[in-house]
Chains A and B, each alone.
Chain A
């Protein structure tokens, strides 16, 4: 089989394994949606708040399905010796990671689509005014958080610690990056930290696509920050990589 065919085979295998773990699949898909529905309903969010919440949850979903899931799963695969086994077969490295990361990307895309559908049908939000911005920032977010997730897995000492390590990054990032509320209300220090991290910029870009209609050209600095983190993530992901 060609490298591409093997990547596809690995992707399908990963999808099958993903659905075979119903509790993880349920958690992965419903948690962000649950946040969206609960916050919108419990606080009776008005249109202005929904305009913050929907792109915020979409950005959080991108980070959860890529950064958190990849760091977590990779730690598991390494600790179990599955990576080492694969490394001893003719599976090309690019095909294996293509399939493995492709599966995470599929989850991210499905999640963002579900967030948009719920926003439209449950809360009467209009369809996104700028599709290119939505697509570009979703994909950039996926690449950036995917690379950072792989890189971060190298810092996690063992699988027992994986949940603590990933949440120690994920939860603060979510709280300071304007997922649930506008960052205007945050202290300047926290806003400054959020500005230096990628999640806020992914959410700003998604907001342009989903809410304001400000396109990619209006988010060039956001683009720059995301690309810089992507570069850092890719370098660390590749250079620090360990099969066992």
Chain B
């Protein structure tokens, strides 16, 4: 199979006068885990729901596995698995019944029992949906998205509300899916989640992509380095794109005053620092 899994160019979506997505472009390669990161209201869910075929775009072009999702072709939906932020299931169905029923919708489904084990719901096969805990419901969501053995999986904030142990377990499942060669588009507002799972991330803010790249090399044009030190018991931190000059000024000043800069560090800003800097501008 050739071509990228997802191609987006010039994508726009407005609700009345409000433009939620203001012309974004990105590409997700096959077998890649791509993270859409951003604060609430940045346009993540709108973007994903356009890719999933739930919403119509106002402008631009979108290709998902070579299809236009707006046309809602069955042949596309057979190859895509969707985990929404919140979606329910028949409360009186058992876990097994739910998976067996949804497996019927796909041409080459995964074995429901194996799918239940994959998401860690073994032992809950005969439990009714209404009896499941919040975390177990999210695992059922994932199982229902996987039972069709999709090539491409959309995960919209898959671990929101999880305790740390459940998050780690979900991350392991997502890594296992990546090992199986699945393409995954993940939205999250947790930085550590994007950092530990995604091959590449795009940071969305106010409907625009403000940075894109691998989490380790995701560096916006300015503020490449952070310089920090402790002076008179207080930690100072500067972000600069010219650390040489800054260090020279700092050390010269300190020497002239006969002071020591304790614990002097020069580093690349973490994804978190970049993220906060990029997304917090409006608040200042």
Contacts and interface: CB of A to CB of B under 8 A. Distances in A.
B47 to A, nearest CB: 15
B93 A17 contact: yes
Contacts of B77: 88-90
B112 to A, nearest CB: 14
B74 A82 contact: no
A172 to B, nearest CB: 31
A6 B74 CA distance: 13
A16 interface: yes
Contacts of A92: 74
Contacts of B53: 88
Contacts of B54: 84, 87-88, 243-244
B90 A82 contact: yes
B91 to A, nearest CB: 8
Interface residues of B, number: 25
A89 B52 contact: no
A7 to B, nearest CB: 11
Contacts of B78: 90
Nearest to B104: A9
B265 to A, nearest CB: 47
Contacts of B74: 90, 92
A89 B101 CA distance: 12
Contacts of B84: 81, 84-85, 88
A6 B104 contact: yes
A84 B87 contact: yes
Interface string A81-99: 1101101111110000000
B82 A17 contact: no
Interface string A1-32: 10000100100010011001100000000000
A88 B52 contact: yes
A90 B92 contact: no
B89 A90 contact: no
Nearest to A95: B105
A17 B88 CA distance: 15
A86 to B, nearest CB: 9
A84 B92 CA distance: 18
B144 interface: yes
Given A88-B53, A90-B78, A80 B105 contact: no
Contacts of A243: 54
Interface residues of A, number: 21
B260 to A, nearest CB: 60
Interface in B73-129: 74, 77-78, 80, 82, 84, 86-93, 97, 101-102, 104-106
B87 A91 contact: no
Nearest to A89: B105
Contacts of B52: 88
Given A1-B104, A90-B74, A90-B106, A81 B86 contact: yes
Interface string B124-160: 0000000000000000000010001000000000000
Contacts of A244: 54
B17 to A, nearest CB: 22
Interface in A64-92: 80-82, 84-85, 87-92
A89 to B, nearest CB: 5
A89 B102 contact: yes
Given A88-B77, A89-B77, A89-B105, A81 B88 contact: yes
Contacts of A89: 77, 82, 102, 105, 148
B87 A9 contact: no
Interface string A204-244: 00000000000000000000000000000000000000011
Interface of B: 52-54, 74, 77-78, 80, 82, 84, 86-93, 97, 101-102, 104-106, 144, 148
A-B pairs with lowest CB-CB distance, top 9: A80-B88, A81-B87, A85-B87, A88-B82, A20-B92, A90-B77, A81-B88, A90-B78, A82-B88
16 contacts: A1-B104, A6-B104, A6-B105, A13-B93, A13-B97, A17-B90, A82-B89, A82-B90, A84-B87, A88-B53, A88-B54, A88-B77, A88-B80, A88-B82, A89-B82, A90-B106
